[in-house]
Structure 1
Amino acid sequence: MRLSQIKLAGFKSFVDPSVISLPGQLVGIVGPNGCGKSNVIDALRWVLGESRASALRGESMQDVIFNGSGNRKAVSRASVELVFDNSLGKVGGQWASYAEISIKRVLQRDGDSNYYINNQAVRRKDITDIFLGTGVGARAYAIIEQGMISRIIEAKPEELRVFLEEAAGVSKYRDRRRETELRLADTRVNLSRVADILHELDQQLVHLTEQAEVAKTYRELETRRETTQRLLWLVNKQEAEARRVRFAQQLEKNRNELEAEIAKLRETESHLESARSEHFALSDALHAKQGELYASNAEVARLEQQIAFVTEQRNRLAQQIQNGERQIAQQQTQLKGLHTLQTHWQGQQQDAGTRVAVCEQRANTEAQDLPQAEEAARLAQEKHNAVQRELLLMQQQVQLAETQRGHIQSNVQQLDSRRSRLMLERDNLPPADMPALELAQQQHAAAQLEYEQQQQLLGELQTQLPLADSARRDARNAAQELERQLAQTEARLHALQQLQAQLDNDQDLKAWLVAHDLEGAARLWQSLRTEAGWEDALEAVLRERVNALALPQLEQAQAWRDAPPPAKLAVYAADGGQRAAVPVPNGWVPLLNHAHSQDARVQLVLADWLAQVYAVPDLEAALRQRGELAAGAWLVTPQGHLVGAHSVLFHAPDSQVHGILARQREIEALQQEAEQRRNALSQGKTVLEQAEAGYRDLDARLIALRNNGTDLQQRQHQLQLQILKLTQAHERSRERGAQIQQELDELAQRFAEAEKQQDEIAAGIGEARSRAAAQQVECDQVRLQANAQEAALRTVRERAQHAQRELQEARF
């Protein structure tokens, strides 16, 4: 049965259906690293029933399914199919009648694995049974992977036994026997426990019935619980959704309120600015109203003085009325007295007639002078009142002007205080730190330039890094490939050396050699060199002499008469002289021409042992030339067949020394190859170290540049913030300085207006005071005149009253 095709689909790197044809006995798969050569071997192991993910270089069995790439999406199944040619019918069992047998395995991503033979679903064991005893299987020796030869060489006897039984075809019967024994043992155990199991089952049946009821109840309760739980989850979900909507609405509301509050804040700030302007305007209006108030107060004071004057005059008139009434009362009293004295006076009337006439004349004269005096007194009093009113009005004007001047001075003080505060604020405004701003701008420009340079250098290094990484990977891959090749060579060399060392596997013979100090003696094959293709011929002629021991003197063997070697042992010693060469027939080639040794003693021994042994290309030529052979001469073919004059000895590799010469030649070639590979590996490691150092240097520079770039970005950000702060501070200082200057200009203008008003008021006050002083003088003069007229009036009245009294007395 021969493997003819391998069909893969979705298995590791074989994402598309692929068919690998194996047309001959020897087929090689070549390709660069990572193309999937090892995946083919993994596919063979996997389809033959391998269940360990580690044996397939993965962590889980799903790792064999193509997991996707940057250009291809992942697939959901992996399948591998092996097609065997069974035209010779070597497969036994139910599949023997098929000329072609297909072994297929399919693995789904959910972990479902199926096996098929000729598209019929089978068990994994069915596939394993087909290949029992053939050396083909998931863990058989037919599939040799990297490091397997070393593991076989270093394996314990129990582990080697598995490979040997598999190679001898015994494993199939051993597995079947083991399976049958296990079945028989299980059957015996089962039979011994049938009664116990039946009894136990009867007892368990009751418990199971009760448990079934409990389980039924549990399932119902569990169903109700799950339903309730889902309803609860639904309610919670709905409540959560409602809360989310509510919170979203609240958030939107809060956001709107925040925006409204911000708008109100902006509006309030605008109103505040307007209110500040209105405050200044209202302050001016307040000052004007205060001036009007002071004027009103002055007018009120004037009116109050006028009212006091009128009240005083009214009181004086009331006093006069009271005096008049008192006089009337006195006169009425006097009238009563006069009526009493009327009679007395009537008697004297006649006497006083003359005197009456005289008194009447006087009284009339005085009565005529009294109106003139009263009119003069009234006119003087009215003039005094008018002058006094004018004086009071002037005093009120002066007081009003003083009040206005005090108000203006108060305003001037307020303006001066405000000007002082503004000037203090202007003086305390932070000066524009232009040097710091220019320095920050220069530092920012330098940092920006340095950052751009570092970014450019970073871009160049990032461009170089993939190239360095690619060179590092190539160097590593090359070093790994050289290590792998060296490991393979050394493993092969070690295996061959161990095979060479296992030639003397007879423990008794080893003990005998140790007892005679011959365990380190040189062997013939160690110094024998054979042309390629003639190893079997030399082994067939020399047989166990290929492993012969070298002795200094052949007579040394006499000491072994009583204790000969316990097994076959050949020894040689080139202590004799060189014998005469045997003549070689014309056209014949001695076998000695195909073997030589650097040791002259070994060459002498070979000449003796290979004497009259001639090499022929094939058995047909040997049979044609055997009639020409001398007695004891032999013809040998490259396959090791010996042809004598009357016999033919067919060679078969049944000796323990078979292949020793070929192995020795291969060992020497492998030693040279291993040395070359070591040198190449040393050079490759040097290149790898250089590539690694270059990559690390680039990576370190990239990290340093990235860190520096981050630091520069932070520094730029800090400098930008510093520039922004300095610029804003300068702008705020400049704007506030402009506002203060504008307010100072307005204050200067208002100062000028206030000073002008003060000058005007001061001039008005001076003029009013001059007029008031003149008016006061005039008022004093008028008051003196009024007092004089009042005194004259009183004199006139007194004279008139005296005249009236005299008249009355005269009349009485």
Structure 2
Amino acid sequence: MLLKSLEMQGFKSFPDKTKLDFHQGVTAVVGPNGSGKSNISDAVRWVLGETSSKSLRGSKMEDVIFGGTQDRKPQGFAQVSLAFDNTTHLLDWEGDEVVVTRKYYRSGESEYFINGKPVLLKNIVELFMDTGLGRDGYSIIGQGRIDEIVSARSGDRREIFEEAAGITKYRYRKQESERKLQKAEENLVRLRDILGELESRIGPLKEQSEKAKQFLELADQKKTLEISLWVHTLESSKQNLRQQEDELLLARQNYDTVVRELNTIEEQTQKVYEQIQQLQMQTEQLRLQKEQNEQTSSQRIAKIAVLHNDIEHNQETIQRFQEEIRAFSATSEQLEQQKLQKAEEIQTLQTAMEELQIKLEQLEQQLLQLSQQGSDFSDYYEQLNQRLNHLVLERSKNKLGIVTKQDQLQQQYHQQELLQQNYSRGQSEANANQEELMEVKQLLEQLEENRGSLSNSKQGYQLKLESRKKKQQELNDYLDRLNTEISSYQQRIKILSDLENSLEGFAYSVKTIMKESQHGQLPGIHGTIAQLIELPSKYAIAIETALGGSLQHVVVENENAAKRAIRFLKEKKAGRATFLPLTSIRGNKLQQNLQNEEGYLGLASDLVHYDPAYEQIILNALGRTVVVEDLDDATVIAKKYQYKFRIVTLDGQLVNAGGSFTGGSQNKNAGLLNRKNEISELQQGVKRLVEKQESYQGTKQQLDSQVSQLEAQLQGIDSEMTVLNEDMIRYTGEQKRLSQLEEQQQQRLRDIQSQTDRCALEIERFQQEIKQAEQVVEQSETEMKAMEQELSGLKESRDDLVGQRKELDNQMNQLRIQRAERGKELENAQMFLQELENRSRSAQDRLGDLEQNIQTHQQQIKQLEQQIVLLEEESNNFTEQ
């Protein structure tokens, strides 16, 4: 087995990875002081399992890690790998090369590897046993260890020789096997105790097992019922959900129907509104047409009046012609006489004609002027009237626009009111939602606070429960130890009692006597000295040594009892025994005062307890025996008192009267005297342990009750936490829903506010337009009033002109009539004068002409009357319209 290489990193003075290859022929590592030669040997020792920091020339194991310099930081770990050639398979490891690695961190953690596989330090130590390379191997001898080996004790040198001889591995295996066996024996004892304890618990555990099985069955039934309940609840929830979805679908359908009806109503309303606007425009047009018709009717009425005037004039002319015909017919005889008169009249008529002609020309000139004025006036009047009509139309349009704008304004007011109502309702809903959200947040905060409180309570209860369980476990462990100790005591008592009852350790003869005595065959037997005394265990060895064979001496009532017992032994050939009759044995107590002697403990007879009836027996056996601490004290006291009495030490060494010494190891009878005392002490111990156990049972019950209560409280807290977590999940979802709803409501309020702002702007715009339109209407009405006043003045002027023209027309007509009359008269007179002789013919002609004129005028009257009828019908039609 050859050493192949050594690799170090972070180990002492080797901060960097350093690898040393040991080729064949390498026997030493040389270098100046402080170069790290010793650190290499320390690295080898360390990687092979050295655990002593002092052996590595350090105060603590952390010193093997590179500690840093002024120029370099400290390393966080140290690692050393040592490689061996294992082609000879001297090392019990697979492979031709074995690489042992050890790694140590500043945190104190260590890692061990063999060929890169993690192992324990124990594996490395076992691997190099008997090779001389182990942790304590002789192959690595550090500084100053040669003198240590030379001056070492034989036992230490023996370990080196055993290592060299290859015994160490087997010794180690032996020690490991002994430790395992000892541990197995301890485990067996423990298992017996546990089995004994478990046997006593089988009955209650069986009952608890039955209860647990019943609980599991009931739990399964409960789980099945809960699942059935949840399934039923789920089905009910699904049915309710379907019902709610149907209702929601029906509500949506109703909502869609209402929306469609509302849209239809809005469309109808819009159509009606448009019809109203059209009717208003038609009404305004009809009103304008009515005004025009009224104006036309006035014109027709004036024209009818003119026609009536013409009819009256024609009727007057016809009457005049008729009168003339009658006059001409009546005065035809006087025509001749009137000829002269007529000649005169002709001259007068001519003069009048000239005057009439002048007047007529003047009147025509005036009429021409009036006609020109009337034409100009009519044109201006028509312009004003058209302007007035245009203003009326514009006013109507503006009024219609005002009405439209007012309707739109009312709609905007209505829309604004609806928006305000929606905003108020939305604000109320938002406020209610915010209040609900705040309540949910407060509930969540309260739930979080409750959860924190419950968590704190749970932690407190858990700490209490852990503390109580720890105490419970400690108490159970203590009670188990008490049970174990009681069982051990009871087993020991049983063993000792069996030994005591079977008189184990006593001579066969003594056993035979005592058994016969117990059966009542040998009366007067009190027992052996060992059975009749009690003493502290401290003095057991000393008293047993002092009594020696006297321990098995049998105390009897009297000499007869002794003789009967001897005869019995003789008959049964059961051996020999010594009997101590109470009536014959007398004791002698040492009189020397040894209280002040060093190591003196007392007279042996005073250190034991017995029935006063046996005082002489005890004094005879122990009255002159002194008990001291040790043999040195015994020697001093014996010399001082010239070996006049026996002295026994606590460890059983004996100085006899006369100066002989008896000592050494304890004889085989040791323990006979102590057995009864030990049974008594064990019984007292059991009694104390049972009392202690009973006293702790109450504490255990209290702890069990407290643990149960705490577990129930924790279970209750867990249930509350579960409910609280469910509430928190539910309220968190509700909070999220309300937050989303709040955002939607705020967005809706912002939309409503935006619509309200737009509506306010529309209202302001409509108010401004209405105001402007009213101003235009007011200006139009002002202008119309001025124009109506002007038209009224023009109408009066026109009426005056018409009156003047009518008067002139009447005058001209009269003048024309007069002229025509005068002309006719003149013509008639001239004709009368010129054609007097043709009077009859002329008269007839004249009569024909007059009749023709009458017919002509009558036809004119008919035509005028027809025109009047037509005008009246048109006027009536316009009036009806």
Tell me which interval the TM-score lies in, with the shorter structure as reference length. 0.3 to 0.5
With normalisation by structure 2, the TM-score equals 0.38
Kindly name which structure, 1 or 2, has the bigger radius of gyration based on alpha carbons. 2
